[in-house]
Structure 1
Amino acid sequence: MAKTSELEAAYRATTYRVFLPGGVCDLRIGQPCETLRCWLETAGSTEFALITAHNPGGRLADEASNAERQSQLECELLEGNYEPYAALHEADGEGWPNEESCFVPDLSCADACALAADYGQNAVVCGGADAVPHLVWMESTEQ
């Protein structure tokens, strides 16, 4: 499913909760997070990505399928020598379930998009050392 104004609004109306050693960061698209900025600086990381395998194409999938895909994604990240941390995408409104996710320091936006595309995702959340999360659509990387 391509980018639509409805999907854009839904992704922006989501809290991206990241579970890091020492605390939790609640991220919103376009809003800096000082706690994450300090964590990235301490970790020596200059970029990050949030990626999920849940509900490919923005379509609800059953719990078992989502869990299996998410497990495969986590294995792929570990095999790629990344250190994923647990994260959760929590929609502001009702009607869309929480989605398990991975917060991955040092995963480039281009690599995150390539991996997300393999799992049928529309978009990923990426950011740099300034800890400002950005929504990146798959089509914006297909050039």
Structure 2
Amino acid sequence: MGADRQEELEAVFNNAIYIVYAPEGELRLRIGEDAPALRQLLHKHGTNRAAIITAHNPEARRQGAAANQAAQARLLHQAEELQLPLLHGHNRAEQGDGPVEPTVVILGIEHQDACKLARDFDQVALVYIGEHAPEVVWL
């Protein structure tokens, strides 16, 4: 991936809003910003980590709706097999000028397992929440 493309993708990921459909209501997450409501949710599930992963638009290249939906269904199936708590959500550009991508939010997933799962769907990155605020993990 060229430097210009990498910079473009970094801007997209860093400026996106990550919505998590939690039982208590929607959580709006931003890269690098602490999210107390998310921390409470994780604590309630006995963990301090989570990953936000989509199967849409592999390699950061737009795909047709049918291909994206099929990939997302496969991702959800694989995530369910982990037997960890799951939530749904979506990613979108703050200004609304990019695609809205549905996500699976996997609570309690280890960093390396999240990376493997995202790589299985040819993603260039995922969002990981560990000890710190949500961060982009490049794959």
TM-score bracket for the superposition, by shorter chain length: over 0.9
Cα displacement (A) at 1:65: 0.5
Q: Distance in 2 between matches of 1:94 and 1:43?
A: 32
- Aligned residues with identical type, % of pairs: 34
Q: Is the 8 A contact 1:45 1:129 kept in 2?
A: no
Question: For residue 107 of structure 2, what is the aligned residue in structure 1?
Answer: 105
Q: Is the 8 A contact 1:49 1:104 kept in 2?
A: yes
Structure 2: unaligned runs, 5 residues or longer: none
Counterpart of 2:27, as a letter, is: C
Aligned with residue 122 of structure 1, among 110, 124, 131: 124
Cα displacement (A) at 1:94: 4.2
Question: For residue 68 of structure 1, what is the aligned residue in structure 2?
Answer: 70
Cα displacement (A) at 1:82: 2.2
Query: Residue 90 of structure 1: SS of its match in structure 2?
Result: strand
2:127 pairs with 1:133: no
Aligned with residue 10 of structure 1, among 12, 23, 41: 12
TM-score of the superposition, structure 1-length normalised?
Answer: 0.90
Query: Residue 95 of structure 2: SS of its match in structure 1?
Result: coil
Cα displacement (A) at 1:129: 5.2
Query: Residue 86 of structure 1: SS of its match in structure 2?
Result: strand
**CA 111–35 in structure 1, closer or farther in 2 if over 3 Å, else same:** same
The aligned length equals: 137
Q: Please list the CA deviations of residues 7-61 of structure 1 after superposition, one character each: whole Å capped at 9, or x if unmatched.
A: 0001111000000111211000000011111111122112100000000011000
2:7 pairs with 1:20: no
Q: Is the 8 A contact 1:37 1:129 kept in 2?
A: no
Q: Distance in 1 between matches of 2:126 and 2:115?
A: 6
Question: For residue 32 of structure 1, what is the aligned residue in structure 2?
Answer: 34
Cα displacement (A) at 1:83: 2.5
RMSD: 1.5
Query: Residue 4 of structure 1: SS of its match in structure 2?
Result: helix
Q: Which stretches of structure 1, 4 residues or more, deviate above 4 A after TM superposition?
A: none
TM-score of the superposition, structure 2-length normalised?
Answer: 0.92
Structure 1: unaligned runs, 5 residues or longer: 139-143
